[in-house]
Amino acid sequence: MSTEYNGWKNYETWNVALWIENDEDLYLEAKRYRRRGYKAFTESLRELGGEIALQTPDGVAWNDSNLDIEALDEMMGEL
């Protein structure tokens, strides 16, 4: 049984990538941190505050233990 989700390692990674690539504000913020990586991006979200600081609008935590950080770093590097 495949555990991939729409080409990503899992649902959580796919959902985070989906929001970063399709929400203008998140996309622009991610572009600012593309060289520093995903973890630096999530730290910037915490500084912004509000609900978006903790999770995607679908409820996936930005620091979910299932996330494929390496793949997210690569995706951000291509923004």
Q: Is pLDDT of 6 > 80?
A: yes
Residues 6+ apart with CB under 8 A from 50: none
Angle between helices 38-48 and 69-77 (to 10 degrees): 90
Q: Is pLDDT of 21 > 80?
A: yes
Provide φ and ψ at 8, rounded to 5°: -105, 165
Q: Give the rounded percent of residues in the chain with a pLDDT score beyond 90.
A: 87
Q: What is the pTM of this model?
A: 0.92
Task: Give the 3-state secondary structure of residue 5.
Answer: strand
CB 52 within 8 A of CB 44: no
pLDDT for 58 equals 97
Q: Is pLDDT of 28 > 60?
A: yes
CB 10 within 8 A of CB 64: no
